[in-house]
A and B are shown apart, each in its own frame.
Chain A
């Protein structure tokens, strides 16, 4: 394990933040063009710096790679300690790409405080990368919490009519969850005898009763973030009110922070409690998968429907993680990445429609295919992927999770497989009502098809979704060893 002082990971974390600050400083009023281009350059560069890391990443190594270590607050042994494994790497890639899509999606649409908008997303992107890279619990927490500020502003400033309520609800819900985590982390610091290094947390032995409390404290943060039933209620509000870019980042990346937290912290640090409470988490996941699937079925608002579909799909992730086998966990990680791309694409599609019609109500649409054939085709790809059609990325993750669940318990698999039906039902029914049929109104007849910018971003996303579905090996290779090592840590008896 080689230790760099400052290396590629710092670049991945700080480059977007530096560009964000630059956009903020340079792109004052009246210089929107400069702000846009600078943001695009920043997001593309931030995505490009991930490539060398992806190439140099050694897929056979179970240790953390690209480690950087600088003492930060020496009194409490808090360090700027970065490093990644395969799970972090795929999520960083997801985040970097999503940021580019968000910048492109907001290009002409955002007219109010343009530089602030792009700067918020770039800074947010850097912070999220920071969460995925942190190997120090306090650094993790700082990044994890700091992401709330830009997202709060994004929802609150550029959101819909009820944005204030949604922004504050989002902030307080997630803050409430994570404050208990803070107490748990300090408790762990004391147990290890003065270290915040996550790897030290892995090896310290903790009595069972304390493990359960720590697990619940961590669970509070990550379950709210994912979000799991019954603490999911902030998500539909936040999604409906957020601007398109906000919804995309929220669904594609921020929800993954929760899943990542389970894999990085909960399972390895308190494995006994995790195993003991797994039935409870599985039960919540299955409720999310089935019940929220039904809830999605009856939504009238497209964004709300996708939000509920996200919760249902994230139920797969928690299910996969907590059945404790390789297929399940691998499926969970793949599902996180694939859901990231699919939900991003679906929100972008809704954004394309909303920019033209200024409505998200399904009933306001109908027959869009007549005026926007190209859009309808792309939208169909994502709708099918969301329903888990084989050949799309949505299938790979769900299939692996169901396979893992089958190995654990037939009825888990049975309940989980219900989503394939429900997912197809709510997604395709929405698609049918929005796209097919006669043109609902004159306005729809006059709609313009996607322009080059919109086509480019949706087309790239479609390529990714189909590519990942047909040939998921690059992704599974990268996460294979890491998943195995998380599972190994999760099977240790520590109490």
Chain B
């Protein structure tokens, strides 16, 4: 596993992104405020090019390069591409919001791109070191972005909370990783696997390490009981940052959990430990997320709790430790980020100068003021609630199917019953949009804008995927099968 120059080709997407963001950072120094649009445009171009690049430089069979730090596989290529597209779409949604909030600055874009780089490193890492580096690059960029609106008290509070809890989580994760290192003597995922397989590892130490790793993962995903930061950070951040936190990093986190648990610690003897822990986290998230969301009056906070519940569902699929379960989880996360993208995106679209449109009551009578927008948001909400014919139904179905395959009928019943509770608060938003008369006309009613166009594609995609989910599912399955080295 020596270093070869050819390996750099595989890393070209990351290298291109890094060069791009450095260039943008420098260029931005010489641009006046009016020319900031160039920075925005260049960032989009860099993201789009980066999203295409992975498809030219991946290996169909997983190949470990860079002295074991990085793995090149189909799953990595697909997820990296997805992440770049998600971030780019997020930027399109945010354009007018950023302009009106004074956030349309060079730092915003370079931090966004650095966060993207961090996600890409996480996605294709094969080593605890690169995994952690990617995670920290992502987190540090996000901490700064949350605090970017520095004269807003709420924002600063959210940033401090995010930073402190994020640091604790990272600490936990590192502690767990160090124990695994102590138990196996390796940080490289394959070396850990072979050490566990050969039975030379210290299983008690390993188990303790798994506990801390799970705590770290729980924090990062926002699973109960490590979820307390989610509502505050989602609520306190500028909405464009919330959109970023709520979408692409979830995909990266999925890859992170997959590399850590499924690949490094996927041995049946360890799986039975972490699957139990994940089950507890999952049930807690499903119950707390869905029940507490009912009490929210702020749309962003409601979506935050809904995220917690969705992460619970993701973990339900994950705890199976089977190929089916992982592909169901992958399907779930991909469709979930599409819904989250639309959910936060609509807040950005409807906001205007000095008006955030983030309270549920701001949506009153949206079906009269902007019927098209209300219709699309309704699709997104029904999709989140898991009502057919939207794709949210299928994502829940596939997860439930994967656990019933292994005989967890009780868990399946819990999962569907909590989604019944969830249906209530999604329905309430539909009710506010469709059944209530509009009182304030402060929401932005612009009908044609780039954000609106993206929103339309986003919403219709959820409906389209709901009618034809088969191809995405088989894609997810082949991605997992070709890339995840299971036992």
* Minimum distance in angstroms from A127 CB to a CB of chain B: 9
Give Cα A65 to B89, complex, Å.
48
Which B residues are CB-close (under 8 A) to A172?
A: 420, 423-424, 427
Q: Mark B421-432, 1 if CB is under 8 A from A, else 0.
A: 001100110110
Chain B residues with CB below 8 A from A156, complex form: 430-431, 434-435
- Chain B residues with a Cβ closer than 8 Å to the other chain, count: 34
Residue of A nearest to B478 (CB): A75
- A78 vs B470: C-alpha distance when bound (angstroms): 9
Contacts A156-B434, A175-B423; A142 near B388 (Cβ below 8 A): yes
- Give Cα A141 to B474, complex, Å: 21
Majority DSSP secondary structure for residues of B touching A: helix
Which of B394, B405, B420, B435 has its CB near the most chain A CB atoms (within 10 A)? B435
Instruction: Judge if A187 is at the interface, Cβ distance under 8 Å.
Output: yes
Q: Does A295 contact B (CB under 8 A)?
A: no
A49 / chain B contacts, CB cutoff of 8 Å: none
Q: Which residues of chain A are near B387, meaning CB under 8 Å?
A: 145-146, 148-149, 175
Given A149-B382, A171-B423, A183-B404, A74 contacting B474 (CB threshold 8 A): yes
Q: How distant is B103 from chain A, measured CB to nearest CB, in Å?
A: 36
A447 at the interface (CB under 8 A from B): no
B417 contacts across to A, CB distance below 8 A: 179
Known contacts A156-B435, A172-B423, A189-B401; decide if A73 and B473 are in contact (CB<8 Å).
yes
B477 within 8 A of A: yes
Q: Residues of B contacting A110 with CB < 8 Å?
A: none
Residues of the B chain whose Cβ atoms lie less than 8 Å from the Cβ of A164: 431, 435
Which B residues between 430 and 447 are near A, CB-CB below 8 angstroms? 430-431, 434-435
Q: Which residues of A contact B424 (CB under 8 A)?
A: 168, 172
Q: How long is the Cα–Cα vector from A411 to B447 in the complex, in angstroms? A: 66
> A168 touches which one: B394, B427, B468 (CB < 8 A)?
B427
> When the two chains form their complex, are residues B393 and A183 in contact, meaning their CB atoms are under 8 A apart?
no
A157 at the interface (CB under 8 A from B): yes
CA distance A171 to B420 in the complex (A): 10
Pair B400/A72 contact, Cβ less than 8 Å: no
Q: Mark B396-415, 1 if CB is under 8 A from A, else 0.
A: 01101100110001001100
How far is the CB of A263 from the nearest CB of chain B, in Å? Answer: 22
Taken together as a complex, chains A and B put the C-alpha atoms of A81 and B394 apart, in Å, by: 18
Residues of A within 8 A of B416 (CB): 179-180, 182-183
B469 CB within 8 Å of chain A? yes
- Contact: B412 with A72, CB < 8 Å? no
Query: Which chain B residue shows the least CB distance to A78?
Result: B470
Q: Does A153 contact B (CB under 8 A)?
A: yes
Residues on A with C-beta less than 8 A from B427 are 152, 168, 171-172
Complex: how many Å from CA A104 to CA B104? 55
In the complex, the chain A residue whose C-beta lies closest to that of B394 is A73
B residues within 8 A CB of A74? 470, 474
List B residues 175-189 near A (Cβ within 8 Å).
none
CA distance A481 to B473 in the complex (A): 40
Q: Flag whether A415 is at the interface (Cβ < 8 A).
A: no
Which A residues are CB-close (under 8 A) to B404? 183, 186-187, 190
Chain B residues near A72: list those with CB within 8 A.
468, 470
- Name the B residues within 8 Å of A171 (CB-CB): 423, 427
Which residues of A163-199 have CB atoms within 8 Å of chain B's CB atoms? 163-164, 167-168, 171-172, 175-176, 179-180, 182-183, 186-187, 189-190
Whether B420 and A179, one on each chain, are in contact in the complex, defined by CB atoms closer than 8 angstroms, is yes
- When distances are taken between beta carbons in the complex, the residues of chain A under 8 Å from B430 are 152, 156
| 14 A–B contacts, CB within 8 A, in A order | A75-B474, A138-B397, A142-B389, A146-B387, A157-B435, A168-B428, A175-B423, A179-B417, A183-B404, A183-B409, A183-B416, A186-B397, A187-B404, A190-B404
